[in-house]
Structure 1
Amino acid sequence: MLAKSSSSSLQQRRRCSSVTRATRVTPLAAATTPRAPVSSDFRIKNAPSIEERKGYAGYDAVGFTYEDFEDALLEHDGRLMFDIGSFVTGSVASLDSRGAYIDIGAKALAFCPTEELSSTRVGRASDVLQLGMLREFQVVREDRHDNVLIVSLKAAEAKIAWKRIRQMAAEDVTVMGKVSDANRGGVIVNVEGVQGFVPSSHLSVSLSAINNGDTLPLKFLETDEIRQRLVLSNRRAKVEKAITFKVGDVVVGTIASVKPYGAFVDIGGVNGLLHISQLSHERIANINSVISVGQQVKVMVLSQDQQRGRVSLSTKKLEPTPGDMVNNPQLVFEKAEMMAEAFKQRVAAAEAAARAEEAKLASEIAGQALGEESLAAGASEEKAEASEE
């Protein structure tokens, strides 16, 4: 019975193939050869039905028709041409509670969720965008569930912001950053829409004195767009602002904190280090017995490192007599300018002596070279005279 059924099916397929070959018309023949009208009652004997022909072609197995394929192309048209990570310009078509629908020139609108509108928290899309507004977005992913491209205004703006940050870092300009959070290691700030970090060691004031929402002047320490790493220094910016200080200047400061190795002195918004070795000529066993937090002192600027944002200070150089900072600090305060002037004069004299020594050495070297040239010239002349004789 099975063999008979298979044989019958094979014969039916052969008849179908024969009919198809017999009725196939080439495009050229169809264009050049007139055909008689076909009656609506015309039927090919034993021709398979449409459903049978679909079965031969495998439609039942695939479950996907040419009409379905065309619908799929229409559905995906305009989305596949945009690569993930590419930038597109689009206008805001509509806004809702979840985000914004963006017309990017495709047949389907793209979607920008609320969390992709800004690096800061946004309550509603209308807080950032308005209908008809033209902006640049970055394609970040494809939502296959809703069949829509997801774009990000935040990512596009971050790309532009990083470009500005690289330019400003190359020019070493001072920027303003808004504090958004703090931890034991430092504070998190927002600079040009990019999140950055300021270590505690690069703050010009104590961490406890900084609050969320504060604005700090900052200098760039590290900019790495690939690793999304932005590190800044508040101290460097403050030191640059206080660039009027010169080595040998005497400034009035307040002890901000005391450590075993020295004290940090606030000298007009900048914390300078008064190392314990620069406190007095006399050996100090306990620094707290000499100075305390809140105490006002006069200090002399020893050095300034703009790159590292550090200022070194000294009261040792201001002592009229070695040990006065321990035994009579008020005398040091009163005589500070006089002692600093004497220090500057000694430094100037030492520098002048060094320059004179360098000039003397250069003159001796030049004289020695001239003498050697004269000897060489004399030897050449004697040799020439000898050859003439």
Structure 2
Amino acid sequence: MTKVNNSFEKILKKYNYRLNSGDIVAGTIIYKESHGFLVNIGDKILGYLPQEETNIIIDYNNNKNFLINITREFFLIKHNEDRKQYILSIKRLEYIRSWKRIKQLQLENIIFNLKIHYSNKGGLITYLENIQAFIPKSHTLDQNNQFKNYEIKCKILITDEQKNQLILSNKSAILQLSIHKFRLGELLYGSIVKIKNYGLFVKIYNTIALLHISEVGYKYINDLNKIFYIGKLIKIKIMHINIKQGRLSVSKRNIK
């Protein structure tokens, strides 16, 4: 390792290369301090890896030296002029790489299974590539959010790396997997699973479709509960398919 570091120093001198914030550098952890680690990055000035930037929980009594002599890449946060050290991070490097993988998954329109960690009134919380993700209640098939500790199919809906925002959709994933079963204008039977004042939610195969009150019939209906009930099988027509938003709209108009 000494020969490699010496060679790296010569390259730095030869090309007058300067390390800058945001660079990714290779180094070896050589010493454990009270709140971090010293890292040999091949320059005369050592790098310093703060404990909070390791992304690792350490038991100082039993495992204080388990990172020593590990060689890997680090993200260079800044140069500490006072201590003459480069401040390094593993956590930020993993964060950058996680977002790169997430963007690739979005580009390839991948559907994946994710374990639900917990839920709140707005939806479900999970993790994709170690980045916390949110599935809005409106984008889950089970509106009661009874998914905790279960794996569900998801696909990416919205990404914003700057805001660390990752929004997923369960409905979009299910609709994409079932899209071969639906054709615009096709007549199908579905079972009513929910009744709202603005329309009916109908289950067709494993997908939930909205039958808006304006598409129930030509006559104005004041109370859908007087005509329909949960579990009733009705004949409907496929009117609109939006895979990205996971929306399937149907109609009962002009159906005999």
- With the shorter chain as reference, the TM-score category is 0.7 to 0.9
The offset of 1:272, in angstroms, is 1.2
Quick one: which of 135, 152, 158 aligns to 2:95? 158
Could you say if the C-alpha distance between residues 288 and 160 of structure 1 is closer, same or farther in structure 2, counting changes exceeding 3 Å?
same
Shift in Å, 1:246: 1.9
In the alignment, structure 2 segments of 5+ residues that lack a partner are 1-16
Paired residue for 1:368?
Answer: none
Structure 2 residue 155 is the aligned partner of structure 1 residue 222: no
Q: CA offsets, 1:104-140, max 9 Å, x none?
A: 223454333343233xxx53276xx744433221122
Query: Which AA in structure 2 matches 1:277?
Result: S
Which amino acid in the other structure matches residue 238 of structure 1? I
Instruction: Give SS of 2:94's match.
Output: helix
CA distance in 2, matches of 1:100, 1:251: 64
Match of residue 197 from structure 2: 260
Q: How does 1:311-350 map to 2 (within 5 A)?
A: 311-316=248-253, 318=255, 320=256
- How far off is 1:102 after superposition? 3.1
Which deviates further from its counterpart, 202-211 or 157-166?
A: 202-211
Deviations 1:296-339 (A, max 9, x none): 42443413221221111344555x4xxxxxxxxxxxxxxxxxxx
Shift of 1:209: 1.9
2: distance between equivalents of 1:147 and 1:184?
49
% of aligned pairs identical?
Answer: 28
Matched, 1:243 2:160: no
> Which AA in structure 1 matches 2:146?
A
The two structures have a TM-score, normalised by structure 2, of 0.73
**How much does 1:249 deviate?**
4.5
Q: Check conservation: 2:137, 2:145, Cα contact below 8 A.
A: no
CA shift digits 1:182-214 (9 cap, x unpaired): 444333432222233333322232153232x44
Q: Does the CA-based 8 Å contact 1:178-1:191 persist in structure 2?
A: no
Q: For 1:200-241, what per-residue CA distance to the aligned partner results, in whole angstroms no more than 9, with x for missing partners?
A: 322232153232x44333223333333433333222111101
Q: What is the identity, as a one-letter code, of the residue corresponding to 1:260?
A: N
- SS state of the match for residue 208, structure 1? coil
Structure 1 runs, 4 residues or longer, greater than 6 Å off: none
The answer to whether the 8 Å contact 1:205/1:271 transfers is no
2:218 is the counterpart of 1:284: no
Are 2:57 and 1:123 aligned? Answer: yes
Higher helix share: 1
After superposing the two structures, state which structure 1 stretch, 93-102 or 271-280, moved more.
93-102
TM-superposed deviation, 1:169? 2.0
Task: Tell me: CA distance 1:306–1:147, structure 2 relative to 1, closer, same or farther (3 Å).
Answer: same
CA distance in structure 1 between the aligned counterparts of 2:232 and 2:211, rounded to whole angstroms: 13
2:26 is the alignment partner of 1:89: yes
On the 8 A contact 1:245/1:301 being kept in 2, the answer is no
**Aligned-partner Cα distance in 2 for 1:97–1:290:** 71
User: Could you tell me whether the CA contact under 8 Å between 1:253 and 1:267 is conserved in 2?
Assistant: yes
Structure label with greater radius of gyration: 1
From the superposition, tell whether residues 177 and 103 of structure 1 become closer, same or farther in structure 2 (CA, over 3 Å): farther
Q: 1:219 to 1:314 in 2, by over 3 A?
A: same
Q: State the distance in 1 between where 2:50 and 2:187 align.
A: 57
- Displacement of 1:158 after TM fit? 1.7
SS of the residue 1:243 aligns to: helix
> 1:271: which partner in 2?
208
Q: Does the C-alpha gap of structure 1 residues 115 and 265 become closer, same or farther in structure 2, counting only changes over 3 Å?
A: farther
Are residues 217 and 96 of structure 1, via their aligned partners in 2, closer, same or farther at CA, if it must alter by over 3 Å?
farther
Residue type matched to 1:208 in 2? N
Structure 2 residue aligned with 1:170: 107
